[in-house]
Chains A and B, each alone.
Chain A
Amino acid sequence: MWRIESAAVIGAVARIVRDLGLAEEIAHDALIVALERWPVSGIPDNPGAWLVVTARRRAIDAVRRKRRLSEKQAALARELSLRHDGEEDSVERVALDEFGDDLLRLMFTACHPVLAAESRVALTLRLLGGLSTDEIARAFLVSESTIAQRIVRAKRTLSRAKVQFEVPQGAELAERLESVLGVIYLIYNEGYTATAGSAWMRPELCDEALRLGRMLAERTPAEPEVHGLVALMELQSSRARARAGSNGEPVMLLEQNRAAWDPLLIRRGLAALDRALKAGSVAGSYTLQAAIAACHARALTAEQTDWNEIARLYMLLGRVSPSPVIELNRAVAVSMASGPEAGLAILEAVATHPALQNYHHLPSVRGDILFKLGRLPEAREEFNRAAALTRNERERKLLLSRAQACLQV
């Protein structure tokens, strides 16, 4: 139950005390009171509301006690106490959606750009995910004390920077939202790229990121990129069961058994993508990535993939967030849609980019295209080059066998 309610309670208190550390303490105090009283009085019908009311009351007391009452704060305290007199009445009046804004405030605060990325992640998982320090530490393969310190320092940084506990408005919203989405996607990727058999927390990170994304989407329905990110995560998750072979080896998307793709998550992903496209006029980066994932999801077999559409989407994506890797992916899509010669032209145009010089996918893709063009000695050279660049043992073996195959045709 605390997992369900903790973020809402912390958020509600933070709105009053404006200090995350204190908010967490007071929220925990309320929990302790609940644990003492409920075995006797029974669990209330709306435990969340009970906790919030209790925590708020303590928060108001804390504000009165700990701060000098400036006119503004006296008025605030009076206003709050007027609104919340009488425990029974208050619990009924606290509607579920009143928590919505507080959760949003909490999310924006925990992901504030003044914090380092890893601190935003730790704070978010802690305050919004309700994960313990130990769970977070295991997820990121660091020590518990590292995470504990990170969280303490993050709260201090927010305090010192006098970060307002509020949802940003107007011009600031876009940048701050980008930060929140970045944190959520970081958490997702941390879970997604985990190899099979590593720490058990990793798939749970994907689940947690998805949950946070869905929660955010509910509260910011007009923001297209939020729906875009949710769509991307739902669609990527839909392939989770097909990603690893029987020996735990990674299976490329085009070779995956599509019967193992989760139709429930595909349906949810496509629905979220639809919302993203309806909410905005120009598709953003997450929405475009989701649209590409949707192309794969809609194809019943690899052969039925709409490569023209994927190529077009990569072109749009390249305009929104230019990157040589995206251009490389576009080369692949174009070679599938219009033939290897066309793909090669795009690849050659981007091949000299410094960022790609140690990127094993570049020679790997070039090798594949040259193989399809029948230029086997050159293809072999590329596969060998790619094999030398990759650090993944399984991938290296695969590339070497492809190089070998060039000799046997």
Chain B
Amino acid sequence: MRFMMLMIPAVYQGPGESPAAPTPEAIAEMSVYNEALVKAGILLAGDGLHPPEKGARVKFAAGRKPVISDGPFSEAKEVLGGFWMIQVRSKDEAVEWARRCPAGDGDVIEVRQVFEPADFES
């Protein structure tokens, strides 16, 4: 089963400020964590995202053309900072891995299963 671990950093929850650059210790800790995922043979993909102020949003409404707005997204409560996609045997296992992430105070990781064709078979 595949799961996304979606990182919602504390800094991106609420009116936007740019996060301070991560400390060398934080980078090292996250490297160790990513290494662990690789060594366990479960990491399929993972990357960080550029900050919201560099991004854009496309908002859809019926009967109208989509509206495009540039970041930062002041009205958004939870904005993504990065993701991992892992291959594990159960949701419990995915949650356990997420729990071990050396995330910062207030960070949230949302764990969501990825649809696979087998899920569509009745």
Binding site for B on A (CB under 8 A): 1, 3-4, 96-97, 100, 203-204, 207, 210-215, 218-219, 241, 264, 268
Q: What is the CB-to-nearest-CB distance from A38 to chain B, in angstroms, rounded to a whole number?
A: 13
- How far, in whole Å, are A96 and B40 apart by their CA atoms in the complex? 11
A207→B40 CA distance, assembly (Å): 13
A sample of 29 inter-chain contacts (CB < 8 A) reads: A1-B92, A1-B96, A3-B89, A3-B90, A4-B40, A4-B96, A96-B35, A96-B36, A96-B39, A97-B35, A100-B39, A203-B118, A207-B87, A207-B89, A210-B41, A210-B87, A211-B42, A211-B87, A212-B41, A213-B41, A215-B41, A218-B38, A218-B39, A218-B41, A219-B39, A241-B116, A264-B44, A264-B85, A268-B44
Give 6 A-B pairs besides A218-B39, A241-B116, A241-B117 with Cβ atoms closer than 8 angstroms: A96-B39, A214-B42, A215-B39, A215-B40, A219-B39, A264-B85
* Chain A residues with CB under 8 A of B36: 96
Q: How many residues of B contact A (CB 8 A)?
A: 21
B32 / chain A contacts, CB cutoff of 8 Å: 96
Are A264's CB and B45's CB within 8 A? Answer: yes
Complex contacts, A212 vs chain B, CB 8 Å: 41
What 8 A-B pairs come out closest when comparing CB atoms?
A214-B41, A211-B41, A215-B41, A218-B39, A1-B96, A241-B117, A96-B36, A3-B93
* Chain A residues whose CB sits within 8 angstroms of the CB of B87 once the complex forms: 207, 210-211
Task: Kindly provide the distance from the CB of A295 to the nearest chain B CB, expressed in whole angstroms.
Answer: 23
- Complex contacts, B40 vs chain A, CB 8 Å: 4, 211, 215
Task: With CB as the reference atom, state the residue of chain B lying closest to A3.
Answer: B93
Point out which of A97, A210, A214 has the most chain B C-beta atoms below 10 A from its C-beta: A214
Interface string of B36-61 (1 = CB under 8 A from A): 10111110110000000000000000
- Would you give the shortest CB distance from B68 to chain A, in whole angstroms? 27
Q: Which residues of B contact A207 (CB under 8 A)?
A: 87, 89
B97 at the interface (CB under 8 A from A): yes
User: What residues of chain B have their CB less than 8 Å away from a CB belonging to chain A?
Assistant: 32, 35-36, 38-42, 44-45, 85, 87, 89-90, 92-93, 96-97, 116-118
Give the complex CA separation of A207 and B116 in angstroms. Answer: 13
Q: What residue in chain B is nearest A213 (Cβ atoms)?
A: B41
How far is it, in angstroms, between the C-alpha of A241 and the C-alpha of B2 when the chains are bound? 14
Closest Cβ of chain B to A76, distance in Å, is 27
The answer to whether B44 and A204 have CB atoms under 8 Å apart is no
Measured CB to CB, the closest approach of chain A to B116, in angstroms, equals: 8
- Report the bound CA distance from A384 to B69 in whole Å: 65
Q: Note all chain A residues with C-beta closer than 8 A to B39.
A: 96-97, 100, 215, 218-219
Nearest CB in chain A: distance from B34 CB, A? 11
Smallest CB–CB gap between A409 and chain B, Å?
37
Name the residue among A4, A211, A213, A268 with the largest chain B CB count within 10 angstroms: A4
Q: How far is the CB of A273 from chain B (nearest CB, A)?
A: 17
Partner of A4 from the list B93, B116, B117 (CB cut-off 8 Å) is B93
Query: What is the bound-complex CA distance between A218 and B35, given in angstroms?
Result: 10
Q: Enumerate chain B residues within 8 angstroms of A241, measured Cβ to Cβ.
A: 116-117
CB distance from B90 to the nearest CB of A (A): 8
* CA distance in complex: A204, B41 (Å): 14
Closest to A95 in B: B32
Q: Which residues of B contact A4 (CB under 8 A)?
A: 40, 93, 96-97
- Specify which chain B residues have a CB less than 8 angstroms from the CB of A268 in the assembled complex: 44
Residue of B nearest to A217 (CB): B41
Among residues of B, the one whose C-beta sits closest to the C-beta of A207 is: B87
Give Cα A207 to B1, complex, Å: 8
B122–chain A nearest beta-carbon distance, Å: 11
